[in-house]
């Protein structure tokens, strides 16, 4: 047997290298990813780099404006709130809350939704009918109202909010995972794996899942963004995480009473929330662009 | 060859903008086709055979650039036509039949609707005569008018029937040139023979000129008057079908013929001929003959510049420095 | 060739199908009744050791369904599939996988794009826990070498390989468990002619070296004539003729086989386009014609062909299902 194709062949990069190349050339990903990365670093290092204790009250220096307004000083670059707590430190610690809620919710709903979607897509038949019905039911439930009711009943805390949102935001994962699995299921490499004698679990984990990851990561980022927004909304309404935790939603709620005289109390956490959600969505949209299939190769 | 060829293509170049640079899909392609003649363009995937056809029809993808010294069909200079004039010409003067008729038939309309629409648009016929003519044409392509096919949707037809409908639709407006791009590749062998029969019969009857694109040397041998063999974007050999198949001059043509299992020629279970290696990258310039890397006879001279097409007295063109004939005359 | 010609004589078949039927439930329209589509209707077939059994027929004739049943990924609705006399219709795939493997048509969909070539080829060994990591790697490289894949491809991904190279990977994966039977489902129809001949040569060599038995599904009669020792012609879910390759190609006995063979187009400029007497309409598999399913398209159909299903004639030359055999010997 001659070495069939041994002559000078163009070196084709691996799928991973191709993907990285596209990611590094995508402006949306670089911009969104950059901001998200900065926010994550700040959140992780918040206890070390925050200038003050976010809970330390000081009634003498309450409602100090940020540095760019009259009367502001570098002592409190973003000013202080109505209890005299350093706003920058609270914002940094608030990023922790937002990101923890976003990440944990996305993780829980991701595992739940992807599992349901893959199972529905792979096995089809009655299983699929049942799970699709479940998704339909889920889609007709108003997320915010249910979250409000449950948190109201059980009492708000970080864990409760994460769990409630985790169980409310899985449908997107299920829909995407099911659709992609339906395509993968009919691929010959799945038939080949079955003929080799692979167990169902092995086929799902090693043959189906890796081909699903690109799409799931996209849904993951988008779910994270909506979880962060919903948490802020719940906290604003007073049924999310409880004060004195420095959630951005709580900060907006507390600043609300001062909105006419000190609007920056609302605008600063609002801007932070906007920037984080926007950049996560940019990242998600960008990832969808670069992982979109284009032809066979 | 007749004095004024019906189709005349000279120096056709088609480049595609791809991430790695400029891909030369077709390089310096020239051919003439006489009125009523069938030219087969044969080659493997990536050889540029479909691109040549699409380039002629002006149906290239948006990332493609076409340039040519001459591109004539009948009295029309295709290079000087704008998009509207080209669209007008297509369907009336030139028609194209694709491999998968589903891509050119609209799934939302009945067969009758689409066929009569074509006649109404191109020939300005009334609806009633258009439907009558459509029915006649279906009968002509072997679909009996009793079967009620005019009221069926494309997905209700089998692949063979769809291709028949497609042929009827394309020939209805009596074009003078048809380009058929692998029209039988997706069909079963029995259906393939029937469709080829139909196509060749109608072509002869109506005196249509045909460019037939295929990878199947068997099909080539049965319907082509002349053959152009394409490799890596270039025509490497062109001439009369019988002569090319009997006495291939280019090593690629020879290799290709040896690869096909043929009853009587290849012993069952024995080794078939192979062409080792792969097609060179079409991005950037070729250094020398595109086939040199896979050619059993390649010599130093083959790596220098691209060999020119040499024309023999009988009209055979070969793009090779060391054809059997050349070696024979040198000896 | 010769060592296989006598292999059929009386020995127990390696693989046997007994009255195998497979039907699918098909919904006609949104609220229409559910109909039974019989893709394979009572097929009897035996494959002997060393055979290359080719299944040929038009699309929709049931050859792919039959192949999937042989692969074990689709259970028969009725009938039995026997391996060395033992029914394997219901035995788990893990058990069958040591004896029967498959090579698929599309080398793009048959390799997981997320896995390296080494991991794809070695998967059967890892699933069946054959040896440690080092010996698995060694065996994988040996197999890759055997099918003509250089070792540097071990860490490559499928998208870095050409169609022919991918098909070699698929062959290596199928052979690494040392199966006896390989189901080749249109192994070369997605490939270019020059690559097709390389893959066919490889399959021929491997069969000789490893003493393999092939079930070859193809619509390309040129390929079948080149490869097959036995040919089974399928029409609308039934095998209408089965005979040794040379006999079938030189003397087709069923009118459908005849039509099929005459439609083959070889590169011969002296011959014209063959005339096929088959009519335009393809039968509806949901309601197969009465009597002989082929009679509406058969140019030589008799009166009784419409009413009575043809008898199975089994003789030294092969098996045929046709009324005409009684009429004109």
**For range B87-101, the mean pLDDT:** 84
**Can you tell me the mean pLDDT for B151-159?**
84
Q: Do β-strands B7-18 and B70-73 pair in parallel, antiparallel, or remain unpaired?
A: antiparallel
Residues A7, B294: C-beta atoms closer than 8 Å: yes
Quote the minimal CA–CA distance from A2 to chain B in Å: 8
- Report the residue of chain C nearest A212, measured CA to CA: C114
Per DSSP, helices labelled H in B141-184 are 159-172
Do residue C173 and residue C186 come from a single domain? no
**Nearest-angstrom CA–CA distance, B79 and B77:** 5
CATH code (residue C279): 3.40.50.300
Q: Judge whether residue C184 has pLDDT over 90.
A: yes
CA dist B8 to A193, B31, B56, C197, C252, Å?
Answer: 53, 6, 10, 35, 46
**Distance between CA atoms of residues A122 and A204, nearest Å:** 8
Question: What's the rounded Cα separation, in Å, for the pair B20 and A39?
Answer: 36
Q: Note the pLDDT of residue A9.
A: 47
Rounded to a whole number of angstroms, the distance between the first and last alpha carbons of chain B is 31
State the average pLDDT over residues C166-175. Answer: 94
> Model confidence over C18-69: pLDDT tens digits?
999 999 887 766 677 788 888 899 999 999 999 999 999 888 888 889 999 9
pLDDT in tens, B157-167: 888 888 888 88
Q: Which of C70, C112, C117 to mutate to test the interface with A (most CBs of A within 10 A)?
A: C112
Q: Which residues contact C161 (CB under 8 A, 6 or more apart)?
A: C117, C153, C169
For A293, the token pair is 């299939």
Residue of chain C whose alpha carbon sits nearest to that of A207:
C112
What per-residue confidence (pLDDT) applies to C79?
92
Beta strand residue intervals within A230-273, DSSP E: none
- The per-residue pLDDT for range B295-316, each reduced to its tens digit, is 888 888 788 888 888 888 888 8
At A255 the pLDDT is 83
pLDDT band at B88 (very low <50, low <70, confident <90, very high): confident
Question: pLDDT band for position B1 (50/70/90)?
Answer: very low
pLDDT value at position A83?
Answer: 80
d(CA B202, CA B157): 22
- Would the pLDDT of A1 be above 70? no
pLDDT of residue A26: 86
Count of other CB atoms within 10 angstroms of residue B317:
19
- Residue C45, token pair as written in the block: 């077939």
Percent of chain B with pLDDT over 70: 96
Radius of gyration of chain A (CA): 24
Q: Which region among A43-52, B29-38, B46-55 has the lowest average model confidence (pLDDT)? A: A43-52
Give the pLDDT band of residue C179 (cuts 50, 70, 90): very high
- In tens, the pLDDT along C250-293 reads 999 999 999 888 888 888 888 888 888 777 666 777 788 888 88
Task: Name residue C319's beta-bridge partners.
Answer: C242, C314
pLDDT of residue B146: 67
Residues C317 and C201 in one domain: yes
Mean per-residue pLDDT, B51-75: 89
Q: What is the mean pLDDT of residues B12-24?
A: 86
Tell me which of C125, C152, C178 is where a domain ends: C178
Q: What is the pLDDT of residue C3?
A: 41
Q: What is the pLDDT of residue B287?
A: 78
Residues C270 and C302 in one domain: yes
What's residue C4's pLDDT? 44
Contact between C114 and A1 using a beta-carbon 8 Å cutoff: no
| Statement: residue C148 has pLDDT above 50 | yes
CA–CA gap between residue C143 and residue B149 (Å, rounded): 54
Structure tokens at C329: 């010997």
- CA B204 – CA C301 distance, rounded (Å): 33
Nearest Cα residue to C256 out of C232, C272, C273: C232
How far off is chain A from C150, nearest CA to CA, in Å? 7
* Long-range pairs, C28-37, Cβ under 8 A, ≥24: C28/C286, C35/C286, C37/C285, C37/C286
- Domain identity same for C199 and C291: yes
**CATH code for B7-81+209-330?**
3.40.50.300
Instruction: Determine whether the interchain pair C110/A15 forms a contact, defined as Cβ–Cβ distance below 8 Å.
Output: no
Cβ proximity of C184 and C224 under 8 Å: no
Torsions phi, psi of B212, nearest 5? -115, 120
**What does the pLDDT look like over C189-246, one tens digit per residue?**
888 888 899 999 999 999 999 999 999 998 888 899 999 999 999 999 999 999 998 8
Among A234, A227, A232, which residue's Cα sits nearest to residue A284?
A: A227
Mind listing the pLDDT tens digit for each residue in B199-215?
999 898 999 999 999 99
Residue C7, pLDDT > 70, answer: no
**d(C-alpha C245, C-alpha C229), whole Å:** 5
> Is any Cβ of chain A less than 8 angstroms from the Cβ of C156?
yes
Chain C residue numbers touching B257 (CB-CB < 8 A): 267
What whole-number distance in Å separates Cα of residue A149 and Cα of residue C325? 81
Task: Pick one of 1.10.3720.10, 1.20.140.10, 3.40.630.30, 2.30.30.100 as the CATH number of A86-291.
Answer: 1.10.3720.10
Out of A1, A3, A195, closest to residue C102 by CB:
A195
Q: What is the average pLDDT across B93-119? A: 85
By mean pLDDT, which of A66-80, A174-188, C300-314 is the weakest?
A: A66-80
CB atoms within 10 A of CB A75: 13
**Range of the structural domain that residue C300 is part of:** 2-99+179-327
Q: Are C235 and C92 found together in one domain?
A: yes
Same-domain status, C284 and C269: yes
The pLDDT, as a whole number, for residue C144 is 94
What mean pLDDT is predicted for residues A93-109?
90
Question: What's chain A's length in residues?
Answer: 297
Measured from the Cβ of residue B75, the count of other Cβ atoms closer than 10 Å reads 7
* pLDDT tens digit sequence for A157-180: 888 888 988 998 999 999 999 999
Query: Both C163 and C223 in a single domain?
Result: no
pLDDT of residue B279: 80
Average predicted confidence (pLDDT) for chain C: 87
Q: How far is B274 from chain A (nearest CA, A)?
A: 9
Q: Which residue among C150, C178, C206 closes a domain? A: C178
- How far apart CA B216 and CA B236 sit, in angstroms, is 17
Q: Could you tell me which chain B residue has the CA closest to the CA of C58? A: B188
pLDDT of residue C175 exceeding 50: yes
Query: Are the CB atoms for C107 and A189 separated by under 8 Å?
Result: no
Q: Which of C51, C193, C209 would you mutate first to test chain B, the one with the most B CBs within 10 A?
A: C193
Q: Residue A5 has what pLDDT?
A: 38
- A171 CA to chain B: closest CA distance, Å? 33
What single string gives the DSSP state of each residue in A172-214?
HHHHHHHHHHHHHHTSHHHHHHHHHT--HHHIIIIIIGGGTHH
Distance CA B255, CA B319 (A): 15
Confidence of residue B86 (pLDDT cuts 50, 70, 90): confident
CA distance C281 to chain B (A): 8
Higher-confidence residue: A296 or C249? C249
Answer whether C112 sits within 8 Å of A12, measured CB to CB.
no
**Domain spans of chain B?**
7-81+209-330
pLDDT at C230: 93
Longest dimension (CA), chain B: 71
Among B113-127, B229-243, B313-327, C14-28, the range scoring the smallest mean pLDDT is B313-327
C-alpha pair distances (Å), B77 with each of B85, B88, C76 = 11, 14, 62
Distance (Å, whole) CA A241 – CA C30: 50
Whether pLDDT at A2 is above 80: no
Nearest to A105 by CA among A239, A229, A249: A229
In a shared domain, residues C171 and C192 = no
Peptide bond into C197 cis (omega under 30): no
Encoded tokens for A179: 């659709």
Contacts of A7 in chain B (CB under 8 A): 276-278, 293-294
Question: What CA–CA distance (Å, rounded) separates A249 from A269?
Answer: 8
Chain C: partners with 3+ C-beta pairs within 8 Å: A, B
Let me know: does A89 contact A53? Beta carbons within 8 Å: yes
Nearest CB to A1; choose among C106, C157, C205: C205
Percentage of chain C lying above the pLDDT 90 cut: 46
* HEC sequence for chain C: CHHHHHHHCCCCCCEEEEEEEEEEEEECCCCCCEEEEEEEEEEEEEECCCCEEEEECCCCCCHHHHHHHHHCCCCCCEEEEEECCEECCCCCHHHHCCCEEEECCCCCCCCCCCCCHHHHHHHHHHHCCCCCHHHHHHHHHHHHHHCCCCHHHCCCCHHHCCHHHHHHHHHHHHHCCCCCEEEEECCCCCCCHHHHHHHHHHHHHHHHHHCCEEEEECCCHHHHHHHCCEEEEEECCEEEEEEEHHHHHHCCCCHHHHHHHHCCCCCCCCCCCCCCCCCCCCCCCCCCCCCCCCHHHCCCCCCHHHCCCCCEEEECCEEEECCHHHHCC
Q: How does pLDDT run across B232-260, given as a tens digit for each residue?
A: 999 999 999 999 999 898 999 999 988 88
Give pLDDT, residue A293. 58
Is A295's Cβ below 8 Å from some Cβ in B?
Answer: no
* Cα dihedral A38, A44, A48, A52 sign: positive
One domain, residues C146 and C90: no
* Residue of chain A nearest C128, judged by CA positions: A197
Residue A297 predicted with pLDDT over 70: no
User: What is the distance of C-alpha B186 from the center of its chain?
Assistant: 15
According to the model, what pLDDT value does residue A296 have?
33
Interface of A with C in 192-221 (CB under 8 A): 192-198, 202, 207, 210-211
C64-108 residue pLDDT tens:
899 999 988 889 999 999 998 888 877 778 788 889 999 998 888
Q: Which long-range contacts (CB under 8 A, 24 or more apart) does C202-208 make?
A: C202/A1, C202/C147, C202/C148, C202/C168, C202/C171, C203/C171, C203/C227, C204/B269, C204/B271, C205/A1, C206/C146, C206/C147, C206/C171, C206/C175, C207/C52
């Amino acid at each position: 047997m001659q070495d069939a194709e041994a002559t000078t062949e163009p070196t084709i990069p691996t799928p991973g290298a191709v993907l990285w190349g596209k990611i590094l050339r995508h402006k949306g990903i670089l911009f969104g990813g950059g901001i998200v990365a900065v926010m994550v670093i700040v959140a992780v290092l918040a206890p070390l780099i925050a200038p003050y204790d976010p809970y330390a009250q000081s009634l003498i220096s309450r409602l100090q404006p940020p540095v760019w307004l009259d009367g502001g000083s570098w002592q409190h670059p973003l000013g202080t709130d109505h209890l005299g707590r350093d706003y920058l430190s609270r914002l940094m610690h608030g990023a922790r809350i937002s990101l923890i809620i976003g990440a944990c919710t996305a993780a829980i709903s991701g595992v739940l939704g992807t599992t349901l979607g893959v199972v529905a897509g792979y096995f089809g038949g009655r299983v699929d009918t049942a799970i699709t019905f479940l998704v339909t039911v889920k889609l007709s439930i108003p997320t915010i109202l249910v979250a409000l009711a449950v948190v109201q009943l059980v009492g708000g805390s970080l864990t409760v909010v994460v769990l409630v949102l985790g169980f409310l935001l899985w449908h997107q994962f299920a829909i995407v995972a099911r659709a992609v699995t339906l395509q993968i299921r009919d691929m010959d490499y799945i038939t080949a794996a079955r003929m080799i004698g692979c167990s169902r679990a092995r086929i799902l984990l090693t043959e189906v899942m890796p081909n699903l990851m690109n799409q799931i990561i996209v849904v993951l980022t988008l779910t994270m963004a909506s979880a962060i927004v919903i948490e802020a909304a719940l906290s604003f309404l007073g049924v999310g995480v409880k004060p004195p935790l420095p959630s951005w939603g709580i900060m907006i709620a507390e600043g609300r009473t001062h909105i006419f005289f000190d609007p920056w109390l609302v605008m600063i956490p609002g801007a932070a929330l906007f920037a984080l959600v926007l950049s996560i969505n940019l990242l998600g949209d960008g990832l969808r662009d670069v992982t979109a299939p284009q032809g066979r190769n | 060859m007749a004095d004024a060829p019906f189709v005349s293509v000279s120096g056709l170049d088609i480049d595609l903008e791809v991430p790695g640079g400029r891909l030369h899909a077709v390089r310096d392609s020239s051919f003439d086709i006489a009125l009523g003649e069938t030219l087969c363009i044969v080659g493997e995937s990536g050889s540029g055979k479909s691109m040549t056809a699409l380039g002629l029809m002006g149906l290239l993808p948006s990332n493609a650039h076409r340039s040519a010294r001459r591109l004539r069909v009948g009295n029309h200079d295709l290079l000087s036509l704008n998009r509207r004039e080209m669209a007008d010409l297509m369907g009336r003067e030139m028609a194209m039949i694709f491999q998968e008729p589903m891509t050119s038939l609209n799934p939302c309309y009945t067969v009758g609707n689409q066929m009569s629409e074509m006649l109404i648009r191109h020939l300005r016929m009334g609806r009633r005569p258009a439907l009558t003519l459509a029915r006649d044409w279906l009968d002509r392509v072997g679909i009996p008018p009793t079967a009620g096919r005019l009221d069926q949707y494309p997905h209700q037809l089998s692949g063979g029937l769809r291709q028949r409908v497609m042929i009827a639709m394309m020939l209805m407006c009596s074009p003078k040139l048809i380009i058929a791009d692998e029209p039988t590749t997706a069909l079963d062998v029995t259906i393939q023979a029937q469709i080829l029969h139909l196509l060749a019969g109608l072509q002869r009857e109506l005196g249509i000129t045909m460019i037939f694109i295929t990878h199947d040397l068997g099909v080539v041998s049965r319907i082509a008057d002349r053959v152009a063999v394409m490799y890596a974007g270039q025509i490497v050999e062109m001439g009369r079908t019988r002569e090319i198949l009997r006495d291939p001059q280019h090593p690629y043509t020879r290799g290709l013929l040896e690869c096909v299992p043929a009853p009587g020629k290849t012993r069952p279970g024995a080794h078939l001929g192979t062409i080792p290696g792969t097609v060179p990258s079409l991005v950037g310039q070729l250094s020398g003959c595109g086939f040199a890397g896979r050619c059993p006879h390649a010599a130093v001279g083959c790596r220098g510049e691209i060999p020119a097409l040499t024309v023999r007295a009988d009209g055979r063109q070969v793009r090779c420095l060391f054809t059997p004939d050349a070696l024979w005359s040198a000896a | 060739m010769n060592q296989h010609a006598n292999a059929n004589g009386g020995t127990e078949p390696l693989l046997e199908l007994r009255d195998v039927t497979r039907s699918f439930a098909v919904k006609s329209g949104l609220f229409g009744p559910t109909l039974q589509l019989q893709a394979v209707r009572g097929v009897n077939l035996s494959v002997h050791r060393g055979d290359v059994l080719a299944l040929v027929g038009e699309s929709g004739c049931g050859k792919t369904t039959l192949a999937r049943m042989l692969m074990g990924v689709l259970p028969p609705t009725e009938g039995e599939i026997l391996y060395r006399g033992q029914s394997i219709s219901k035995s788990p795939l893990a058990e069958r996988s040591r004896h029967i493997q498959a090579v698929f048509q599309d080398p793009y969909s048959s390799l997981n794009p997320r896995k390296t070539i080494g991991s794809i080829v070695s998967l059967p060994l890892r699933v069946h826990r054959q040896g440690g990591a080092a010996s698995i790697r060694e065996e994988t490289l040996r197999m890759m070498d055997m099918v003509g894949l250089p070792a540097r491809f071990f860490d490559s991904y499928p998208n870095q390989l050409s169609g022919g190279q991918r098909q070699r990977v698929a062959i290596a994966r199928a052979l690494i468990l040392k199966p006896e039977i390989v189901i080749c489902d249109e192994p070369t129809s997605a490939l270019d002619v020059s690559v097709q001949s390389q893959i066919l040569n490889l399959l021929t060599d491997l069969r000789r070296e490893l003493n393999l038995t092939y079930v070859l599904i193809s619509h390309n009669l040129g390929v079948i004539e080149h490869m097959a020792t036995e040919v089974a012609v399928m029409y609308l879910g039934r095998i209408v003729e089965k005979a040794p390759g040379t006999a079938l190609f030189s003397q087709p006995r069923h009118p459908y086989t005849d039509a099929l063979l005459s439609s083959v187009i070889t590169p011969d400029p002296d011959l014209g386009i063959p005339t096929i007497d088959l009519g335009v309409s393809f039968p509806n598999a949901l309601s197969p014609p009465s009597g002989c399913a082929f009679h509406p398209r058969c140019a030589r159909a008799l009166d009784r062909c419409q009413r009575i299903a043809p008898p199975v004639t089994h003789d030294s030359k092969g098996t045929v299902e046709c009324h005409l055999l009684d009429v004109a010997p």
